[in-house]
Structures are given as structure tokens and as C-alpha cells.
Amino acid sequence: MLLIPAIDLKDGKCVRLKQGDMNDSTTFGEDPAAMARRWLEAGARRLHLVDLNGAFAGKPVNEAAIKAIIKEVGDEIPVQLGGGIRDLDTIERYLDDGLSYVIIGTAAVKNPGFLKDACSAFGGHILVGLDAKDGKVATDGWSKLSGHEVVDLAKKFEDYGVEGIIYTDIGRDGMLTGINIEATVKLAQALAVPVIASGGLSNIADIEKLCAVEDEGVEGVICGRAIYSGDLDFAAAQTRADELNGEG
């Protein structure tokens, strides 16, 4: 089970939002590269970056901070990034900078042809971020609910050749209310590609529940507010996950 620390970038700083609200953010660090090093030293095997300004602007905004993070840790562990990725040139630039995976979210739902082209051009590097509430996919920084069912869209994107799906329950994100295990497992069972859980991780019990369903295709979990607030000790949680999976 991959425990993946999230570094959400807003105005060059590390922040966390509550339920995607840019006006409800908490700053956890002024130096994103130092934050990345902190999680690497705590045992992280992958990092999850979000360009929050980019997600709302529809183009990269925090590129300097992203480059600094990749320079800091990129040779040691994979780094994945979402937010503001709307064209092939942006993907190519980020991959050239040393990014391992690019996450396409809103653009995948609104412009499936772009996702298909991205998978074709950059096979092995494309993840899709599906954000949902009550089984329906949301777009545009979670501000709009579409009529699409999560499982149906995920199957379509799997056929395009995506490497995996990051599934966020937006009703829980940043709220420390627990992962929506049932919905995550339902999605993973419908797919051959791995699913990464996101939204609501709150404590070690959540990690244990996720480890119990790893065989269903749940490969990892994004760790956000809980590891910044102190509700979850990241290093201890990864150690526990390894024990449960027979790796410790």
C-alpha cells in the first residue's frame, strides 16, 4: 500500500483546502521543496502535487515550486502532479522536467479526446483524477457536478490506456471524516488498472481498512490534511501498512 503525501500548492506555498474551497485554505509551509524532503525522509515512496492555482486558471501557475520539488526529490522517488494540465505541450514540459506522472482531471471529463491523445503520446505517464460525490463525477475544482457515473467514465478511460485512477470523494476531502472505502472498492473491482484512494483519510484505522482491500485493486492512498495536522503519523502509518502487507 503506497501512502502518498500530498503537497498542495497555492501562491508558491504548501496549503490544504477544505472541500476544494480556495477561500478556506490553511498554510502548512512556505518552502515546498523542504516539505518534499521532509516526506521523503519520513519514508514516502511517491509524492502527490497539486497546482491549485493552476486547476482554477486552467494552466500551470506554480511551476517554479514544482520544479524545485522535482529537483529536490525527483531522482529518488516518483512525483505525480495534477492541476491546470490542459494540453500536450504542458505534459511534455513537465515530463521533461522530471515528473513521473501527470494527472488529468477536469480536462479528461470535458475533453476525452485530449486524454486519449495524451495516453497515446505519453503512455505510462498518465493518471486520471476522478472527483465524485454520490457516485457522480465533479469538474472545475469540484464546483460542477456532471451527469457521469464514476465507474462508467473510469472504464472508458481505462480503454484509452491510463496508468491508474485517483478517486476522490469530495464530500470528505479535507474533513478528516474517513475514506469512502465502499465506493473506492466498487470502482477498483470494476477496473484492471490500479485505483488510488483520496479524500478524508483521518487516522491509522483508515490505513488498516485500505490494506484489507488492497487485493481488490486499491494501490495507494493520498495523505493530506491528516499528516499536516498531526492526526496521522506518516512514518508510523507507512510502517504499519508494510506490516499488514507482509513487507515489514
- Catalytic center residues: 8, 131
Buried b (16+ CB within 10 A) or exposed e, 198-229: bbbbbeeebbebbbebbeebbbbbbbbbbbbe
Say how far apart CA 5 and CA 53 lie, in whole Å: 19
Nine-digit cell at 2? 503506497
Nine-digit cell at 9? 500548492
For 60, the 3-state DSSP assignment is coil
Query: Residue 58 is inside which H or E element, if any?
Result: none
Identify any residues that bridge with 50 across adjacent strands, giving them in sequence order. Answer: 8, 82
Can you list the positions of beta strands (E) in 76-194? 79-82, 101-104, 126-133, 136-139, 144-149, 164-169
Taking a C-beta distance cutoff of 8 angstroms, is the pair 8, 200 a contact? no
Contacts of 185 (CB under 8 A, 6+ apart): 213, 216, 218
Say how far apart CA 79 and CA 99 lie, in whole Å: 6
